[in-house]
Amino acid sequence: MTTLVDGQPCAVVPADDRAFLYGESLFETVAFRDRQAPLWPRHMTRLARGCRALALNMPRPEQLLAECRKILPASGPAIVRITISAGSGGRGYWPATEPRERRIVQCRAWPTDIHRQRRCGLRLRISSHRLESGQVAAGLKHGNRLVQVMAARECARSGHDEAVLLDAAGCIVEAISSNLLLVMDDQLFTHPEPAVSGVGLGWLIDQAGIDIRRKALAVEDLVRCSEVLVINSVAGVRAAIGVDDDRFTPGPMGRHLQALWNEQLI
């Protein structure tokens, strides 16, 4: 992994960085292909919204893009994670009077299992860890990801590819690092207020002819689903082949969305 901190090659941040101490940060995970990122404007829009919510100064998108390209390979797919930290300073939870944000840009290799997951599907489990309802930072890609870490640990122990995360009311919200789409009676549904407003899901919602409705669905509703789809901006659209004891077969809706994604973004 290659890392830049504030534009300079570096692999460490100070121990008093507020992202480390309190999770006071935002991040974007951006898919690049041959040094181009088709969803870049959407990532920057979400990052700007998060910066406004956390009272952070938004870096110039062209500066971030230049830093990404400094560490990207000459060709092929790669992933860049951009982290905007609140920086150092402050007193406990109280922020610094003159904060200075810290930019961390990291490039890593393309995951080797994405093609297999697209082709063969994902095995999901219902996580025992619940998302908080009505959280202050709802929709933001912020640095407090402990629920997702614990859910991923469950999956690693049980051999599952992903987890379904529920809220306190038992409604299906999203996956660990993806949004969820449920197909019932040939109609697509997703949660009304996902914990993270996914860039990939947002792109899909904006495509002509795609009607995605927002509705609170419980685990019991899985028996009514013909397809369960998992989507994020890196992996695209993947079909679930199982959620615990419920089995699913990749179907026409998932194939259609995969084809649309491949045609427009790959």
CATH of the domain at 261: 3.20.10.10
- Give yes or no: residues 105 and 163 share one domain: no
Q: How does pLDDT run across 52-107, given as a tens digit for each residue?
A: 999 999 999 999 999 999 999 999 999 999 999 999 999 999 988 887 999 999 99
pLDDT, position 97: 83
How many independent structural domains does the chain possess? 2
pLDDT digit string, tens, across residues 13-47: 999 999 999 999 999 999 999 999 999 999 999 99
Of 67, 84, 110, the position where a domain reaches its end is: 110
The last residue of a domain, from among 63, 80, 110: 110
* DSSP one-letter code for 124: E
- 200 and 253 share one domain: yes
Placement of tokens 């904006």 in the chain = 206
51/153 same-domain check: no
Same domain membership, residue 119 and residue 94 = no
CB neighbour list of residue 100: distance below 8 Å, 6 or more residues apart: 87, 88, 89
User: Helix %, strand %, coil % for the chain, to 5?
Assistant: 30, 35, 35
Mean pLDDT over each residue of the chain, to the nearest integer: 95
Do 100 and 197 lie in one domain? The reply is no
Q: Would you place residue 135 in the very low, low, confident or very high pLDDT band (cuts 50, 70, 90)?
A: low
- Tell me which residue range forms the domain holding 6: 2-110
Q: Check whether residue 30 and residue 46 sit in a common domain.
A: yes
Q: Indicate if 73 and 185 belong to the same structural domain.
A: no
pLDDT at 134: 61
Q: What is the pLDDT of residue 136?
A: 63
pTM: 0.95
Using a pLDDT cut of 90, give the percent of the chain over it. Answer: 92
**pLDDT value at residue 186:** 93
